[in-house]
Copies of this chain bind each other. A is one copy, B any other.
């Protein structure tokens, strides 16, 4: 990439929540916009194990955007609680964040679907609060996922609710490759 690497002086806490489309997309779009300005992002995806189209596209930004998946969401479809194994993987993801907080590799850390992971008991609210509170001043932290607890809203600098006004799912259209997945 012919863009000069820059380092963030002051970062904020952003939250994208709500039942509407565009939470993950906005977070990834944010990482790409930041790449254009020279900032590096680490995107950690929770509850996503299969290869979303964005993984393929983001390979073009590998110098600026790293994307890692730690745990799946099969348990939701099975209507089960997450297994200890899945919970362990999710905790590893949070440990990775803490490690990166102490390093200069990334300016922006996106925890994609971390908020809904609390709702599904994959991770503890308190663990996410600990992460938010330990964010260093020079990093941006972006959290996405529906069902955002008030405690997280209180800690965030910027909260956007993606509200579904109308959705083609209502017409019986399911997830489309390249659009929702």
Binding site for B on A (CB under 8 A): 1, 3, 6, 12, 14-18, 20-22, 24-30, 32-39, 52-58, 60-61, 140, 153, 156-168, 171, 173, 177-179
Ranked 5 nearest A-B pairs via Cβ: A37-B178, A29-B29, A36-B57, A36-B53, A22-B26
Please give, as numbers and ranges, the residues of chain B lying within 8 Å of A55 by CB-CB distance. 36
Cross-chain pairs A/B with CB under 8 angstroms, 11 sampled: A21-B158, A25-B26, A26-B29, A27-B29, A33-B179, A34-B53, A34-B179, A36-B54, A37-B179, A153-B166, A157-B168
Q: Does B38 contact A178, Cβ atoms closer than 8 Å?
A: yes
Query: Which of chain B's residues has its CB closest to A6's CB?
Result: B178
Closest partner residue, chain B, to A64 (CB atom): B57
